[in-house]
Amino acid sequence: MSKLADKVQHELIQAIDNDELVLPTLPEVALRVREAAEDPDISISALSKVIGNDAALTARIIKVVNSPLLRTNKEITDLQMAVGRLGINYTCNLATGLAMEQMFQATSDVVDRKMREVWNKSTEIAGISHVLCRHYTRLMPDQATLAGLIHQIGVLPILTYAEEHDELLSDSISLNHVIEKIHPIIGDKILKAWDFPENIAMVPSQYLDFTRNSPKVDYVDIVQVATLQSYLGSEHPYTQLDWSQIPAFAKLGLDPSTDLHADEDLSASMEAAMSMLQ
């Protein structure tokens, strides 16, 4: 590891330990949606009003409900019908995840490009997670989608730090090394600060532990397998691992040698799931 990467990693971990690292806050609309979702008696019209204050998010949710993955015979054109079709929990998780996209923006071109790259990868993993969840588990696809969207949330403070430190910004190898090493620790911190449920909050710190073997299948397993599947056909180091030794595949009941993209139906579902998030 370069001296620069070592120094930055040390500074960031120290800032985390001393509670000095400024963690990002959820966008206002996501906070309001999550607050609304905590009310067990929230109605479809009340939730629609909360989301309806954000025109961009409203348009995204209507786009999702009309996507090939979820659409019915009748096109849905208004938010209240969309929320009714998706259900309150699904809508809340989806709205939270989609609202996060606005956090992945920066003032410098280099950091902005990197943030776009991270968000695009997150939507890819979220799309694959959605399909894996629906076809191989009895877990909730909306939560699997959210887990995919937040699995690299810890990258945000690192890129914010890089934006203020030119020497790190101009050394992409060191920057990538720092991201790889500590985004899982920071991701956990952020999601705990946001009061995310434990089954989602633990995804960033555990999805790259390929020896992990929990008693039953969970969202970490789904994101882990989605991540590995996303690199199939590339030269990425993850493709060199012995996938037959990774417990998450067995828990999903998925043959490690299966290429989901080779199955026409699954491939079409993944494409649809990814495009509805973009």
Domain coordinates in residue numbering, the chain: 3-21+104-277
State the pLDDT confidence band at 276, using cuts at 50, 70 and 90. Answer: confident
Mean pLDDT is lowest, of 30-39, 63-72, 110-119, for 63-72
So what's the pLDDT on residue 256? Answer: 95
Report the predicted TM-score, pTM, of the whole model to 2 decimal places. Answer: 0.92
Query: By percentage, how much of the chain surpasses pLDDT 90?
Result: 69
State the pLDDT confidence band at 274, using cuts at 50, 70 and 90. Answer: confident
Task: Compute how many other C-beta atoms are within 10 angstroms of the C-beta atom of residue 120.
Answer: 14
Mean pLDDT is lowest, of 8-17, 45-54, 124-133, 185-194, for 8-17
So what's the pLDDT on residue 69? Answer: 80
For 3-21+104-277, which CATH class? Answer: mainly alpha
Instruction: Give, in degrees to the nearest 5, the angle at Cα 252 between 249 and 253.
Output: 85
Q: What is the pLDDT of residues 67-101, one digit of tens each?
A: 888 777 889 999 999 999 999 999 999 999 999 99
- The CA–CA distances, whole Å, from 165 to 111, 129, 159, 177 equal 11, 35, 10, 16
* Average pLDDT of the residues in 4-9: 80
Angstrom distance (rounded) from CA 181 to CA 154: 11
State the pLDDT confidence band at 1, using cuts at 50, 70 and 90. Answer: low
The mean of the pLDDT values for the chain is 92
* Average pLDDT of the residues in 107-116: 90
Q: What is the pLDDT of residues 143-185, one digit of tens each?
A: 999 999 999 999 999 998 888 888 888 888 888 888 998 899 9
State the pLDDT confidence band at 265, using cuts at 50, 70 and 90. Answer: confident
